[in-house]
Amino acid sequence: MSGSALGPAAEQAIAWMVRLRSGRTDARQEARFQRWLAQDPANAQAWEQLQRGMGGHYEVARRAPQVLRDALLQPQLGRRDVLRGLGGLALFGGGLWMGVRSDSARMLTADLRTGTGERRTVTLADGSRLSLNAGTSLDVDFSAGQRLLRLYQGALVIEVAPDARRPLLVRSEQGDARALGTRFLVEQLQGATRVVVLEHSVRASVPDGAWLDLAEGQAALLRGPRVELCSDSQVYRADWLEGRLSVLDEPLQAVIEALRPYRPGLMRVDPEVRNLRVQGVFPLDDSERTLAALEDTMPIRVRRYGSWLTLIERR
Amino acid sequence: MSVSDTSKLSYFFSDHHRWLLHYVQRQLSHRPDAEDTAAETFCQIIAARVDPAAIEQPRAYLATIARRLIFDRYRRRRLEEAYLERLMLLPEALAQSPEQTHLLLEALHAIDSSLAGLPLVVKKAFLLSQLDGLGYAEISCKLGVSERTVGRYMTQALRQCYLSGAHP
C-alpha cells in the first residue's frame, strides 16, 4: 500500500515480520534479518515497537479456547453505521440487538418517575404498594385482564394486593416477573434484570418461554434466553428501602452504580480500580460520606470538579 | 494541576455537563452508561491538559470526543455479547472463572480495537498466524487465497499493530 504514514524503519520492520512469519524462513534469511536489526538503532526501535503491538494481549488470548477467541471475528460495522442514529434513535444501551424499546424519551414521559436522591412509595389503584428507588421510571398499565408495570430504569419493590382475576406482572427489557401472591423486587441492570423474592413466590420468565418459579428468599437474573437462579439469597438488595446500600463482596464499579441515582452530576471510576472488591453498609442519602468511607478503606482517591464531576482513581 | 486550573475546569463542566449528558443519552439510553461516557469525555480533557478557555467551540469539541468513546463502547459491547454467546456453547470442563473472563475480555477488547477497521478476511489471516502460529501455506488453504495475498494481509494488520505498540 502506498502512502503509508509510517517511516521507513517501521515499514522494514513490518516487511521482516511478514517474511519471518511465512513458515518458509531459512538460516540465510535469519542472518540477514539480524544484520538489518543491528544496522541502525532506528531499526531496533521500530522492531521493538512492532513487538509491543503484538505482545501481551495476544498471549492472554492464545491461552483461551478457540471458540471464545472467535468473538473477534464478527463482521465489521463502520463508525458511520453506528452513529447514524444520532438525532433520536436510541441505538444501544438497552434493546439495540433485541429490538426492544428503551429510549430516553420514553423514560421522561413515564407514568411514575423518581429523580436523583428521591425514593417514593405509592399505593396503586388496586391497593398494591409500590416503592421506587431513586432514578427509577416505569409505566402502569392496568386493564381488565392484567396488571402490568413496565420498568424502564432503576428498581422497584412491590407488595401485591391479591386479585385472582388479574395477574400482576412487572415487565423489564429482559422479561417478566409474575406475582404469585407476594412481595418482590425487580431491578433493571445493564443488559439484565434482577428479580428478588421477599415474600411468597414469583414466576420469572423471558420472552422465548423459559421460566422459573422463585421461592421466598430466592433471586434470579433474566439475561438473554435464560433465567439464571442466583446461588445466594439477595434479600439485602432491597435495603435501599431503608436508605442503606449493603455490599457483600462486589466490585467498586457496582457500588458506584448503586450510588449514581443518589448523586447529581457525573461520576466515573477509573478502569484500573473498577474491580477492587468492596464490603460494607453505606448510607445512600449521604453519598459524600459513602465516598469518604470508601476512600478511607481502599487504595483510591476521589477527585471532585465542582459538584458536576467526580472521578475515582487509584491513589 | 493548579487550583485555578481545577476551578476553570469545574466551570467548564458545570456549563456543559447537562448538554453533554443529553447528547450522549440520545445514543446510549442506559443511563449509567451515558453518565460514564460523559464523565470519560471530561476525563480526556483533563488528561490532555487542555485549557478549557481556549476551546473555541466547546460543544462540537465535546461531541467529537464523545462520539469516539460511544463507538468504542459499542465495539466493546458487541464483543462482549459475542463472547457471552460463545461462552454458553462451551462444555463444562472449559468453563471460565469470572477472573479469567475479565482478563480475556480485556485482552480481546484491546486486540479488537487494535485491529479495528480491517476487513474480516485480513483479521482472520492475521489471527491464524498470530494466535495459531500457522504458516502462510496453511492460511492460504484455509482462506482460499494465494500465499502472496496472505503476506499482503499480514502487512496490513501489522501496520495497525505497529501503531498500537506506540505507547509502552
On chain B, the residues whose CB falls within 8 A of the CB of A10 are: 162
Domain stop point among A72, A94, A128: A72
pTM greater than 0.90 = no
pLDDT at B131: 92
Judge whether A268 lies within some domain: yes
Judge whether A94 lies within some domain: no
**pLDDT band for position A232 (50/70/90)?**
confident
Q: How far is A231 from chain B (nearest CA, A)?
A: 15
The cell for A267 is 461520576
Judge whether A217 lies within some domain: yes
Q: Same domain for A115 and A160?
A: yes
pLDDT at A76: 63
Q: Same domain for A116 and A211?
A: yes
Interface confidence, given as ipTM, is: 0.78
> For chain A, what is the mean pLDDT?
86
Q: Same domain for A199 and A277?
A: no
Q: How far is CA A192 from CA A172, A189, B20, B74, B164, in A?
A: 9, 5, 26, 17, 33
pLDDT at A87: 34
CA A62 to chain centre: 26
Matching residue, cell 388479574: A166
Q: Which of A1, A57, A307 sits opposite B107 (nearest CB)?
A: A57
Query: Could A22 and B147 be called an inter-chain contact, meaning their C-beta atoms sit closer than 8 Å?
Result: yes
Q: What is the mean pLDDT of residues A226-234?
A: 89
Query: Could A102 and B13 be called an inter-chain contact, meaning their C-beta atoms sit closer than 8 Å?
Result: no
Q: Same domain for A166 and A281?
A: no
Do A90 and B26 touch, CB atoms closer than 8 A?
A: yes
Judge whether A91 lies within some domain: no
In chain A, how many domains are there? 3
| Separation CA B27–CA A161 (nearest Å) | 38
Q: Determine which of A24, A59, A60 to mutate to test the interface with B (most B C-beta atoms within 10 Å).
A: A60
Query: Could A83 and B135 be called an inter-chain contact, meaning their C-beta atoms sit closer than 8 Å?
Result: no
Q: Same domain for A200 and A156?
A: yes
Q: Among residues 206-265 of chain A, which lie with CB inside 8 Å of chain B?
A: 224, 257, 260, 265
Q: Is a pLDDT exceeding 70 seen at residue A293?
A: yes
The cell for B65 is 470526543
Q: Same domain for A221 and A128?
A: yes
Beta-carbon pairs below 8 A across chains A and B: 227
> Which residue on chain A is closest to B161 by alpha carbon?
A53
Q: What is the mean pLDDT of residues B18-30?
A: 87
Summarised one tens digit per residue, pLDDT across range A134-182 is 999 999 999 999 999 999 999 999 999 999 899 999 999 999 999 987 8
Q: Same domain for A64 and A131?
A: no
CB of A41 less than 8 A from some CB of B? no
Q: Which of B23, B45, B46 is nearest to B35 (CA)?
A: B23
**pLDDT band for position A96 (50/70/90)?**
very low
User: How many other CB atoms are found less than 10 A from the CB of residue B122?
Assistant: 21
Domain stop point among A25, A49, A72: A72
Tell me which residue range forms the domain holding A22: 8-72
Q: Same domain for A166 and A262?
A: no
Query: Could A61 and B136 be called an inter-chain contact, meaning their C-beta atoms sit closer than 8 Å?
Result: no
Q: Determine which of B11, B30, B111, B167 to mutate to test the interface with A (most A C-beta atoms within 10 Å).
A: B30
Query: Could B165 and A55 be called an inter-chain contact, meaning their C-beta atoms sit closer than 8 Å?
Result: yes
Summarised one tens digit per residue, pLDDT across range B109-165 is 889 988 988 999 999 999 999 999 999 999 999 999 999 999 999 999 999 999 988
> Which residue on chain B is closest to A15 by alpha carbon?
B155
In order of their start, the domains of chain B are 1-95 (no CATH), 115-168 (1.10.10)
| Separation CA B9–CA A311 (nearest Å) | 13
Q: Same domain for A49 and A129?
A: no
Q: Same domain for A210 and A270?
A: no
Judge whether A2 lies within some domain: no
**CATH number reported for the structural domain that contains residue A304 in this entry:** 3.55.50.30
Asked which of A86-95, A284-293, B35-44, B79-88 is least confident by mean pLDDT, the reply is: A86-95
CB of A144 less than 8 A from some CB of B? no
pLDDT at B106: 87
Judge whether A140 lies within some domain: yes
Domain stop point among A72, A96, A116: A72
CB of A6 less than 8 A from some CB of B? yes
Judge whether A184 lies within some domain: yes
Cα–Cα–Cα angle for A62, A66, A71, nearest 5°?
A: 95
Q: Same domain for A225 and A138?
A: yes
pLDDT at A77: 60
Judge whether A44 lies within some domain: yes
